[in-house]
Every structure is written in C-alpha cells, then in structure tokens.
C-alpha cells in the first residue's frame, strides 16, 4: 500500500536516494581498497553496499509507486581518496543516518501512523549502527597500513544487519533466520 502522508513520502524518497548512492559509493570504494592492497576491507565495502541496497529496496517498496520527481540531498562525500579517507566518509555517512536522519524520519512515520515506513526506517536505523562500528574497526586497521582479519561477512537480506564471521540464529533486528543471511 502506498504511503498516505506527504512528509513521510518525502522522507522515503530521500532515504531511497541516499541509500542508492551509498550502495554505489561503497562499490567504488571497494575497488579502491582492492587496488591499495586491502582485499578484506574491499569485501566489507561490498557487503555493506549490499545492505544499503536492501534499505533502498525496502524504502522503494514503501513509496508504493509514483511518478513524481524527487530531489535527494546526498549528505555524503563524493569522489575517491585513500581508503583510510574513504572509510572516514563512510563513517560520517553512517553516523549521520544513525544520529540524525533515521531517528527524525522514524519519528515522523510514527507521528503519521505509517506502519510500513516505520518498519523500513527502523530496520535501516538499527543496521546502520552495525555499519558504523565495522567501518571504524576497518579504519583503525587501515591507519596502521593493515587489512582487517576476516573469515566472512554476513548480511541480513531483510533489514541489512551486518556481522562478521558468523550469522546469528535469528537476526537481532528483524528476526530473519540464519540461513537467509548472505555471505561475503
């Protein structure tokens, strides 16, 4: 069902645009990390890129179909630098979402009683917290010229929850079963 209220609709469009850009930006930064000799940091960018696509897909579905134009504020770095700097851009973007964007969007959706948008914003807000922490860990390594140590990264395809090395029995954010997690 399409979203009913204009304000929540605007926020869904904005979040869809922002997540779409984050998805692409992380793929580009993954290429840079590979070239710099950080294959595991590259894998982290690719895994989290997939999580942002999950968020974009959730928001896109909740918009529910319209043909209007939407202006999307980027709220993030454009361009490529060294991986350590790209990771700072990633951390800044994730923290912006965790501290400002999604709390505001989620509260607007609650106020307007938009259940679908609430779910979509809640999933993204909680998942972005995991991303911010993982990017900080990666930046600590990159600052010392090291790659991160990693067996695998698992991403929940329902909410974007991201975790290293082993998927939980159930996603702590959305409850999805372990076998649904996507491995990178």
Interface positions with Fe ion (CB under 5 A): 94, 128, 131, 156, 158-159, 161, 171, 173-174, 176
- State the helix-helix crossing angle for 83-96 and 115-143, rounded to 10 degrees: 150
The nearer residue to Fe ion, 142 or 155, going by C-beta atoms, is 155
The nearer residue to Fe ion, 56 or 173, going by C-beta atoms, is 173
How far apart CA 96 and CA 75 sit, in angstroms, is 8
The nearer residue to Fe ion, 2 or 104, going by C-beta atoms, is 104
Residues with Cβ within 8 Å of 111's Cβ and at least 6 positions away in sequence, in order, are none
* Of 28, 23, 14, 18, the residue nearest 52 (C-alpha): 23
Task: Give min distance, CB of 68 to Fe ion, in A.
Answer: 26
The nearer residue to Fe ion, 143 or 177, going by C-beta atoms, is 177
The nearer residue to Fe ion, 138 or 158, going by C-beta atoms, is 158
For 169, phi then psi, to 5°, come to -60, -40
Task: Give min distance, CB of 69 to Fe ion, in A.
Answer: 25
The H or E element that residue 10 is part of is: helix 6-35
Question: Residue length, the chain?
Answer: 184
Task: Give min distance, CB of 67 to Fe ion, in A.
Answer: 28
* Of 176, 177, 178, 175, the residue nearest 166 (C-alpha): 178
The H or E element that residue 155 is part of is: strand 153-155
Task: Give min distance, CB of 137 to Fe ion, in A.
Answer: 14
Task: Give min distance, CB of 176 to Fe ion, in A.
Answer: 5
């Amino acid at each position: 069902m399409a979203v009913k209220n204009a304000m929540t609709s605007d926020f869904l469009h904005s979040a869809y645009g922002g997540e779409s850009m984050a998805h692409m930006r992380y793929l580009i930064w993954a290429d840079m990390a590979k070239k710099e000799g950080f294959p595991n940091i590259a894998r982290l960018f690719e895994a989290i890129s997939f999580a942002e696509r999950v968020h974009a897909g959730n928001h896109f579905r909740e918009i529910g179909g319209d043909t209007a134009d939407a202006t999307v504020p980027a709220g993030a770095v454009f361009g490529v630098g060294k991986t350590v700097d790209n990771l700072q851009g990633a951390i800044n973007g994730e923290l912006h979402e965790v501290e400002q964007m999604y709390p505001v969007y989620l509260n607007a959706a609650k106020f307007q009683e938009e259940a679908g948008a609430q779910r979509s914003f809640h999933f993204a807000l909680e998942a972005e917290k995991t991303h911010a922490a993982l990017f900080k860990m990666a930046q600590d390594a990159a600052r010392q010229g090291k790659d991160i140590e990693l067996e695998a990264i698992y991403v929940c395809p329902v909410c974007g929850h991201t975790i290293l090395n082993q998927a939980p029995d159930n996603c702590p954010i959305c409850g999805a079963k372990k076998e649904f997690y996507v491995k990178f």
